[in-house]
Chains A and B, each alone.
Chain A
């Protein structure tokens, strides 16, 4: 027999020795296998953490994609303003340093505007920009629409002049030979051949236009416009510029290039150089184009201060304009100014929303507290029956409940009929209880009451009756016992109910819309209006952001004053 205990010997450190070693070393605590205890614990907990994460993952993903991201995008719209700089890039650049008080901007700005408008009109973007700027200054929408039609003709005279001199200018091919890179011409020809072969249903875009070397330096304005022309043609029509006569503005640009730099033809060779030299001669005989006058002809408002002030104020990519509008302010070149008194609506609406929500919360407390007290102190059987009555409104459609109030409260409605029948109100003097603030408060108090009663009830349920007895045995009257002992303990319930009711009320939409008339509507109704009717989503987003911020601030205040850990929604 060999030593039977030999196989029991442990090669590595035992848990005990590991702990002793760790203590001796005065280093981190080690687990039995010699790894640091912290690491060992973390890996042991990892499985649990992963499982917990997997359990919440479906909801998290759902919330992420249906709630957080859309809301984030929506809120982003409240400051986003890239439409101006994207539609009018040249104008915005030219306006840099412009002061609207010194009258209409220079001809250079109008020149840039002309070019931007030509491109925008081709892409049909100018109407969108017009309606965007119309939110800020009325009339801009039609101004832009008109200009979109008018800018087409700008430079027509120059086109005619060049074409009269040499009909080749009318041909798209002439321009391509003049400006395009050899490689591009080959690629374009190949593309055209493929299109010919395929016939209908050919949807391959032509190759992207490439300028020949040195052309862009020689004719900067022309190439800039021609590039836009080629790009619009390519993306909008799927055509190659080979067969198309360029826009008038390209001819005008060519004139301007040749007038500014008569030596430009020197950069070219052969037939093109001759053609260009001929054009330069014609250009020398032409008068420079007055862009300002052209716009004045389209509509003299283009020379007005309003238009340029607005464009300048909203030229940046991000704007505080929507928020300014939400606060009844206006973004002007001179900074943020209050709007005219008769146009101020949002301040009043926000204030009204807050005050009415407060009123609704207070009436919910007043009506809900005794009910909750009764529920909490009745025998369970009776309390359950009453609880069903409290919950009953929850099971009825919101729209039905609100419409029912309309039936009850209107001038020919049930309540007025009863009052008239009782002789309390004369038939000619029926009370106006709907389409005003009274109607909104009544209907919303009714709808939100369960949200007050339920948290109150669950808190009151946990207050033992012995507190009231103790207070009375100590000499307190019923009222003192209630007020000094019971009420303070039910405050967490009031807090929870108030937060719920107030936050729900502040964003309520359907009920004020139906029973609120004009005096009883909330800010949310205005937001809905901007979302679905005026389509001013930026302003709607700004109003929504302010509402959200307001709720968060109130929540923070509430946390500071009452303490959020004092809020109890359940036992």
Chain B
């Protein structure tokens, strides 16, 4: 990002480390900068350090080393209540002894705001999440989705510039989750707020974010917009973690610019794009997305390497077909094809030839 480089980042982590027990680092050397108005998602498996990062930003955990800056100012020593950061929690954390309106009034009251101003802000915030009629209810009288809307309204009502969300949709059912994903993104963009969103659900991360930081083992593995993350994963963890992925293992035979040849463990030779392999003889994991695999020989490029495959299973999924193949000794090779009128439906036992464009096949670290 351009504004990151010249130091105008709104949120910045600089060489941040965190350890709870003095023996192991939960967060190892985190560097991250966000421009104002960005929707950034921290994605990763549990224990990857993403929530710790969020808590350090919110002020509930202190960094063991490094600096966190908000709008250019270090905030390491500022207590949470003075940071002015809105936060939405996984379990909503709506105060059960207060009504919805009282919950929303709370951040305004502690800021010493007058009653009439408070009321108009509460009304606006509730209308924003389409919960205008629920001001008098108690949290226990609301459904999960409604509670999450209120929690969102409460985090936004005092107009913070930065809002943190810690797996806010984790407890909701799929349909509601999808609806709220769109609502949250639209709201964030409309209000122009900066959002740091933590989730372990990759679909959520891909659909909502401007950029996604994939966490593993206390490090950011890749920080990129969703499409890049999916189409151009930089290492095999990201490739595995984001979306469905087929992996073949082998050794690099030959590298020529942005093209390389990999000899698989089964002896087959394939074309691939070298991403983080640098020399011949290096072991590699080759990653191919299921929908980029082609088995119609007419559509394959001239001279492309192909592999023999046997159909093990054919699953009809409505809009797509999902076919499981045995390829180069791998029984879990999956291809996805669109349900189009001219599409060939495979049957278990069919022997086919598969191939792909060399740029769709990425040779990553082993």
Contacts and interface: CB of A to CB of B under 8 A. Distances in A.
Contact of B93 (A470, A480, A488): A470
Contact of B154 (A467, A469, A474): A474
B110 A467 contact: no
Given A469-B60, A489-B96, A474 B91 contact: no
B215 interface: no
B110 A475 contact: yes
B106 A471 contact: yes
A58 interface: no
A476 B93 contact: no
Interface string B107-144: 10011000000000000000000000000000000000
A480 B82 CA distance: 13
A477 interface: yes
Which range holds the interface residue count of chain B? 20 to 34
Interface string B86-106: 110111010111000000001
B84 interface: yes
B85 interface: yes
Nearest to B154: A474
A478 B59 CA distance: 13
Majority DSSP secondary structure for residues of B touching A: loop
B93 A475 contact: no
Interface string B154-173: 11001000001000000000
B212 interface: no
B214 interface: no
* A467, A471, A472, most chain B CB atoms within 10 A: A472
Contact of A488 (B79, B84, B87, B97): B97
A470 B96 contact: no
Given A474-B107, A475-B81, A485 B89 contact: no
Contacts of B84: 475
Given A469-B87, A470-B89, A480-B110, A475 B158 contact: yes
Given A484-B106, A488-B97, A472 B80 contact: yes
B251 to A, nearest CB: 49
Contact of A474 (B90, B97, B158, B164): B158
Contacts of A470: 87, 89, 93, 95
Contacts of A475: 81-82, 84, 107, 110-111, 158
B58 interface: yes
Interface in A466-505: 466-467, 469-478, 480-481, 484-485, 488-489
A464 interface: yes
Contact of A489 (B89, B97, B158): B97
A16 B255 CA distance: 77
B58 A473 contact: yes
A470 B165 CA distance: 11
Given A470-B93, A471-B106, A488-B97, A477 B87 contact: no
Given A476-B81, A476-B106, A469 B111 contact: no
A473 B81 contact: yes
Contacts of B158: 474-475
Interface string A301-324: 000000000000000000000000
A423 to B, nearest CB: 43
If over half of A's interface residues share one DSSP class (helix, strand or loop), that class is named, otherwise mixed; here it is helix
B345 to A, nearest CB: 44
A333 to B, nearest CB: 58
A460 to B, nearest CB: 14
A210 B164 CA distance: 103
A467 B90 CA distance: 11
B110 A464 contact: no
A405 B107 CA distance: 49
B86 A473 contact: yes
Given A472-B81, A475-B84, A475-B158, A466 B93 contact: yes
A469 B93 contact: yes
A473 B80 contact: yes
A474 B89 contact: no
A325 to B, nearest CB: 47
Contact of B106 (A464, A469, A474, A477): A474
Most chain A CB within 10 A, of B82, B93, B111, is at B93
B138 to A, nearest CB: 13
A471 B97 CA distance: 13
A490 to B, nearest CB: 10
B290 to A, nearest CB: 39
A485 B98 CA distance: 9
Interface string B199-214: 0000000000000000
Contacts of B97: 488-489
A466 B54 CA distance: 14
Nearest to B85: A473
Instruction: Name the residue in B81, B83, B84 with the highest tally of chain A Cβ atoms < 10 Å from its Cβ.
Output: B81
Contact of A466 (B82, B91, B155): B91
Nearest to A488: B97
A473 B91 CA distance: 15
Contacts of A474: 81, 86-87, 106-107, 110, 154-155, 158
A469 B89 contact: yes
A471 B86 CA distance: 10
A477 B109 CA distance: 12
Given A467-B95, A489-B96, A473 B111 contact: no
A471 to B, nearest CB: 7
Contacts of B107: 474-476
A480 B95 CA distance: 13
B81 A467 contact: no
Contacts of B81: 472-478, 481
Contacts of A466: 89-91, 93
A194 B67 CA distance: 116
Contacts of B93: 464, 466-467, 469-470
A198 to B, nearest CB: 84
A67 B60 CA distance: 54
Contacts of B90: 466
A477 B155 CA distance: 16
A176 to B, nearest CB: 88
A476 B95 CA distance: 13
B105 to A, nearest CB: 10
A481 B60 CA distance: 14
Contacts of A484: 106
A210 B80 CA distance: 100
- In the complex, which of the residues B59, B87, B90, B155 has the most CB atoms of chain A within 10 Å of its own CB atom? B87
A565 to B, nearest CB: 13
Interface in A453-467: 464, 466-467
Interface string A130-152: 00000000000000000000000
Contacts of B164: 473
A467 B96 CA distance: 9
Nearest to A467: B93
Contacts of A471: 95, 106
B87 A473 contact: yes
Nearest to B107: A474
B222 to A, nearest CB: 29
B112 to A, nearest CB: 10
A469 B58 CA distance: 9
A183 B155 CA distance: 104
Contacts of A485: 95, 106
11 contacts: A464-B93, A466-B91, A472-B79, A473-B58, A473-B155, A474-B81, A474-B86, A474-B107, A476-B81, A476-B110, A489-B97
Interface of A: 464, 466-467, 469-478, 480-481, 484-485, 488-489
CB-CB nearest 8 A-B residue pairs? A474-B107, A470-B93, A473-B87, A466-B93, A472-B80, A488-B97, A476-B110, A475-B110
Interface of B: 58-60, 79-87, 89-91, 93, 95-97, 106-107, 110-111, 154-155, 158, 164
Given A473-B164, A474-B110, A485-B106, 4 more contacts: A469-B60, A472-B80, A476-B107, A489-B96
